[in-house]
Structure 1
Amino acid sequence: MDTGTHVVMGFALGGLAMVDPVVATDPLMQTTVLAATLIGSQAPDFDTILKLRNNAVYIRNHRGITHSIPAILFWPILITGAISIFVPAVAWQTILLWSFIAVFFHVFVDIFNAYGTQALRPFSKKWVALGVINTFDPYIFFTHLGAVIMWVLGSPPVITFVGLYSVMLLYYIWRVLEKRKVVLHARALHPEATHVFVSPSLRWYQWHLVIRTKEMLYVAESIHNEINYFESYPFEPIPNTTIMNAARKDDNLSAFLSFSPTYRWEIEELDHYTEVRFIDLRYRSKGHYPFVAIVQLDARLSIKNSYTGWIFNEDKLKKKLDILPD
């Protein structure tokens, strides 16, 4: 989820903690537990700092080890230890419990996005992405925000937040069923499909689709269970050629391939270099595919420039490539 949603979830979990008698009867514990749930709701995304290095490092590692099984255990211990230093009088077991709930909840809801997480590490580096909830879901954000405002205005926190999360449970179940309906419809139209990649949108009944068969890739959308097709491309596995093998040594392209499950590629011979381009097909927006990886190679197949990330027009892409060292 986005940062704002994780913030309001941290507040909501702080209010939900009032079901714990240790918290409900002690104003200091209420404040401390709220701090723990707010920090815990943000902690797994501290790896966003990797953007300061470069996009390749960020794409390869964001929602990776910081969202893993060891991290779910590590973050609460770190948070509890830090809080205990500044507020030694609090019940550390309670802080540990609610910071664990906040961290676990952060990772759990991220699994439902199309981006996903590597939540199964160290047992598997596979990206777990259910593609049920958009990275920013207005309904989830505003219902949490509304519940927090009600709490601030005097609404009983236990009733307010137990009610909120009862509604959230039903909402997630409904979204899972809606996605399943979309997948079944796509497979009914394409019984030969090997994969159906589904990404949610901001609208409840609109879903982005990439349907892959052994021969073709179909880019489409589903609106109210009606599938509209945009483009289709031959499904071509990455070839074992000299140019492609040279390009795959690049860190940017390697990071892209570690993350993207469905893409098309193209090779273009230009005046002074060869350009290898990979385009993720999941994020079509207004006829454009913004998530790409580009590698430019000279006549000796040495990598001269490369980039991976989100680009919404070619002029910006040229600027990104121009700032890389020759």
Structure 2
Amino acid sequence: MDTGSHLLLGVTLAGLAHATGFVGTDSAVGQALMIATVVGSHAPDFDTVVRLRGISSYIRFHRGITHSIPALFLWPLIISVPLAWGFDVMGQLATLYFWTWIAVVFHVFLDMLNAYGVQCILPLNRRWVHMDVLAIFEPFVFALHVAAAVWWLGFGGDAVMLFPAAYGITFVYIGVRAWQHARLVKRVASALDTNGVCHVIPSFHPFHWRFVVETGDRFYTGKIEYAHVLLEEIYPKQQRNDIIQATIGVDGVRAFLGFAQRIHVTWKECQDGYEVVWSDVRFWYNRKLPFGVDVRLDHDLNVVHHRLGWRKKAWDPPYV
């Protein structure tokens, strides 16, 4: 999910800890735990620092090792031990570790539910896991947790009432979205009469979804609005040739191929050579394929230039 939502959920996890009686009346423990859950809720995304090394490094490492199985246990240790020592509450280290662990696990769980996905099975498997159930930002979840946090911190609301209810509603909402997703996958497959691999991807609107279906020779893309399946574009698959193969060793292409799920590649001849365009069809929007790699070659198939990233403005959809 987005950074703001992760940080907000860190606050409400601290409230849930109060509600379940883990904090007691010790203000030092309460302060340390609030910091622990907020930092823990964001910690896996500290990997964004690799963006300083360029977009290829970012694509390779973001939501990778920092979201892996070992990281689920290392982040709580790195965060809770200094906090327990700094607040002089070493006797409550286990409590701090536990709630920090909950925050880290919940972060990875939420990332797993959106379309970008996460390599949460590392080091056992490098596969990207994405359930396509939640959008990168969920207005309902955000509003629910803002209300609970403000009522608790600003108006002295009862944590015992607020936070079990907020998290209970959150998990019911996730369940409903998962149920919606499963039904819509079947609906798209039926409407297109195909047995291809189908992705149904959520948006900020609860009843507007996008879909991508990959078959042996093409991709189908379209929208679902209030259960109505609307086919928009069909992208034929192109056979690989020497021009396309000449781009495989490019650093940006290798980074892209390690991440992309539904790969579409085209080429065209230009005045001074060739242009090869790699795209991930999962992120199509408005009849365009805005994420991928553009590679320019000369007539001898030498790489002249390449660019990896989004072919859109940062504020334009899709948001992943």
Task: State TM-score, norm by structure 2.
Answer: 0.93
Asked whether the 8 Å contact 1:264–1:279 carries over to 2, the reply is yes
What is the CA–CA distance in structure 2 between the aligned matches of 1:260 and 1:291, rounded to whole Å? 9
The aligned counterpart of 2:104 is 103
Question: Where does the alignment leave 5 or more consecutive residues of structure 1 unmatched?
Answer: 314-326
The aligned counterpart of 1:141 is 142
CA deviation after TM superposition for structure 1 residue 119, in Å: 0.5
What is the CA–CA distance in structure 2 between the aligned matches of 1:257 and 1:144, rounded to whole Å? 37
Asked whether the 8 Å contact 2:19–2:163 carries over to 1, the reply is no
Q: Secondary structure at the match of 2:246?
A: helix
**CA offsets 1:29-87 (integer angstroms, 9 cap, x no match):** 11110000000001000001111111111112110110000000110010012213422
The aligned counterpart of 1:81 is 81
The aligned counterpart of 2:212 is 210
CA deviation after TM superposition for structure 1 residue 22, in Å: 4.2
Asked whether the 8 Å contact 2:29–2:89 carries over to 1, the reply is no
The aligned counterpart of 2:67 is 67
| Partner amino acid, structure 2, of 1:173 | G
Q: Secondary structure at the match of 1:282?
A: helix
Asked whether the 8 Å contact 1:268–1:276 carries over to 2, the reply is yes
The aligned counterpart of 2:318 is none
| Partner amino acid, structure 2, of 1:172 | I
Q: 1:118-129, aligned counterparts within 5 Å?
A: 118-129=119-130
What is the CA–CA distance in structure 2 between the aligned matches of 1:235 and 1:274, rounded to whole Å? 18
The aligned counterpart of 2:46 is 46
What is the CA–CA distance in structure 2 between the aligned matches of 1:194 and 1:104, rounded to whole Å? 32
| Partner amino acid, structure 1, of 2:297 | L
* Equivalent of residue 179 in structure 2, options 154, 177, 180: 177
Change (3 A) 1:104 1:110: same
CA deviation after TM superposition for structure 1 residue 221, in Å: 0.7
Q: Secondary structure at the match of 1:219?
A: strand
| Partner amino acid, structure 1, of 2:35 | A
The aligned counterpart of 1:160 is 162
Higher alpha-carbon deviation: 271-280 or 179-188: 271-280
| Partner amino acid, structure 2, of 1:215 | D
Change (3 A) 1:176 1:22: closer
| Partner amino acid, structure 1, of 2:229 | I
Asked whether the 8 Å contact 2:29–2:87 carries over to 1, the reply is no
| Partner amino acid, structure 1, of 2:112 | I
Q: 1:253-292, aligned counterparts within 5 Å?
A: 253-292=253-292
CA deviation after TM superposition for structure 1 residue 190, in Å: 3.2
| Partner amino acid, structure 1, of 2:77 | I
What is the CA–CA distance in structure 2 between the aligned matches of 1:110 and 1:7, rounded to whole Å? 14
Question: Where does the alignment leave 5 or more consecutive residues of structure 2 unmatched?
Answer: 314-320
The aligned counterpart of 2:316 is none
| Partner amino acid, structure 1, of 2:192 | H
Task: State TM-score, norm by structure 1.
Answer: 0.91
What is the CA–CA distance in structure 2 between the aligned matches of 1:161 and 1:146, rounded to whole Å? 10
**CA offsets 1:137-177 (integer angstroms, 9 cap, x no match):** 11111111111001111111121010001101110110001
**CA offsets 1:87-110 (integer angstroms, 9 cap, x no match):** 233411111111101001100111
| Partner amino acid, structure 2, of 1:139 | F
The aligned counterpart of 1:319 is none
Asked whether the 8 Å contact 1:193–1:214 carries over to 2, the reply is no
What is the CA–CA distance in structure 1 between the aligned matches of 2:133 and 2:146, rounded to whole Å? 21
Asked whether the 8 Å contact 2:233–2:287 carries over to 1, the reply is no
What is the CA–CA distance in structure 1 between the aligned matches of 2:60 and 2:82, rounded to whole Å? 29
Asked whether the 8 Å contact 2:33–2:99 carries over to 1, the reply is yes
What is the CA–CA distance in structure 2 between the aligned matches of 1:227 and 1:302, rounded to whole Å? 43
Q: Secondary structure at the match of 2:23?
A: helix
Q: Secondary structure at the match of 2:282?
A: coil
The aligned counterpart of 1:302 is 302
Higher alpha-carbon deviation: 212-221 or 222-231: 212-221
CA deviation after TM superposition for structure 1 residue 231, in Å: 0.8
Asked whether the 8 Å contact 1:37–1:98 carries over to 2, the reply is yes
| Partner amino acid, structure 1, of 2:53 | R
| Partner amino acid, structure 1, of 2:127 | K
**CA offsets 1:177-229 (integer angstroms, 9 cap, x no match):** 10011100111123433200121111101111011222321111111111111
Higher alpha-carbon deviation: 27-36 or 285-294: 285-294
> RMSD of the TM alignment (CA)?
1.5
CA deviation after TM superposition for structure 1 residue 259, in Å: 1.5
| Partner amino acid, structure 2, of 1:217 | F
Identity, % of aligned positions: 33
Asked whether the 8 Å contact 1:22–1:29 carries over to 2, the reply is no
The aligned counterpart of 2:95 is 94
